[in-house]
Amino acid sequence: MSDLPSHISLREVGPRDGLQNEAPVPTEAKVELIDALSHTGVRRIEAVSFVHPKAIPQMADADEVWRRIARNDAVRYSALVPNLRGAQRALDAGFAEIEVVVSASDTHNRKNVNRSTEESLDDIAGLIEAGHAAGSTVQVIVSTAWGCPYEGDVPVERVLAVAGRAVRDGADGLSFGDTTGMATPSRVQKLVGEFRSQHPQTPLNLHFHNTRGTGLANVLTALELGVDDFDASVGGLGGCPYAPGATGNVATEELVHMVEDMGVATGVDLEAMIDVAATAERLVGRQLPSQVLRAGPRTRRTPT
């Protein structure tokens, strides 16, 4: 096995990306999920998104969720926003970490935020300034980085151009989102390799969905390339708005279970995360796709 990072940073995105793609759950269920996650050892939680409530009614209670959770000082909580207006709400609420999302595919971006990718990038330049002026970090997430449900394959050059603009405009970090699970290891290798050679100093996070079963394979490929920052959602919460019934993000406990056995530390208590996955299942009222939730960790023994 090639050299892998000795440890990685995980961002738990179940409360946001996960719940945004589930049937609406009550505010108190969101609070319960975030508070439970805050005690699993995970250091970063994407807690809410500040989007227009008409666009995504599941997130209309973002301010209330943020007020009600019992914040753990050891955890960094972040908010996802689609534009400067959303960022201002997040900053007013006191978030010190903001993620702004832009699609590499123009069609997806227009469906999402009703403007072209270039228009979003112009808005993001001002957003980065506003975030920094308020003392917040701003990560730019380039979604549909490995393909778009409308346009199909998105050329690597296009993704790199969007990412390059964000880097030049002062983003504190970049993330590539495999929004609908179209990435495969060879495609991960190509995009990450080229991004790294152009921007060796820029922190890079990867966000995989397991829509087509390649989630963990993509994580492993990225680890071998030295990537040490990943998103995942507890239980594999979430889905895909373009494919009814499809699975969501890579499951946090599956990722932890695999990489810890390879000597890559995550800081996450696996059994605690599996317990939260069971909680998440109860809160959304359906069976979640995580296989480690079903089978337990490889160290678990059946009584004889």
17 lines the binding site for Zn ion (CB under 5 A)? yes
* Interface segment toward Zn ion; rule CB under 5 A; list 14-22, 53-61, 222-230, 252-260: 14-22
Residue 17 or residue 229: which is nearer to Zn ion going by CB? 17
Q: Which is nearer to Zn ion, 17 or 106 (CB)?
A: 17
- Decide if 174 contacts 139 (C-beta within 8 A): yes
* Binding residues for Zn ion, total number by CB under 5 A: 1
Please enumerate in sequence order all residues whose Cβ is within 8 A of that of 55, keeping only pairs 6 or more positions apart, or say none: none
CA proximity to 14, closest of 239, 259, 243:
239
- Please identify which of the residues 240, 256, 284, 292 carries the catalytic annotation: 240
Per CB under 5 A, 22 contacts Zn ion: no
> Shortest approach of Zn ion to residue 205 CB, angstroms?
12
> Does 97 sit near Zn ion (CB under 5 A)?
no
Residue 103 or 137: the one with the smaller Cβ distance to Zn ion is 103
CA distance 298 to 304: 16
Applying CB under 5 A, the span of 9-17, 108-116, 144-152, 211-219 interacting with Zn ion comes to 9-17
Least distance in angstroms from the C-beta of 80 to Zn ion: 10
Interface stretch with Zn ion, choices 17-25, 87-95, 196-204, 290-298 (CB under 5 A): 17-25
3-class state of residue 289 by DSSP: coil
Q: Binding of Zn ion at residue 46 (CB under 5 A)?
A: no
Q: At its nearest, how many Å lie between Zn ion and the CB of residue 257?
A: 21
Q: Is 253 in the site for Zn ion (CB under 5 A)?
A: no
Q: Which stretch binds Zn ion (CB under 5 A): 15-23, 149-157, 252-260, 289-297?
A: 15-23
Residue nearest to Zn ion (CB): 17
CB of 207 to Zn ion, least distance (A): 6
* 99 counts as binding Zn ion under rule CB under 5 A: no
Closer CB to Zn ion, 17 or 254, in the complex: 17
Nearer to Zn ion, 17 or 99 (CB): 17
CB 12 → Zn ion: shortest distance, Å? 13
Positive or negative CA dihedral for 114, 208, 155, 224?
positive
Residue 242 per-residue DSSP state: T
148 annotated active-site: no
Q: How far apart are alpha carbons 1 and 123 in whole angstroms?
A: 43
Strands 173-178 and 97-103: unpaired
Task: List residues binding Zn ion (CB under 5 A).
Answer: 17
**Catalytic positions, written as ranges:** 240
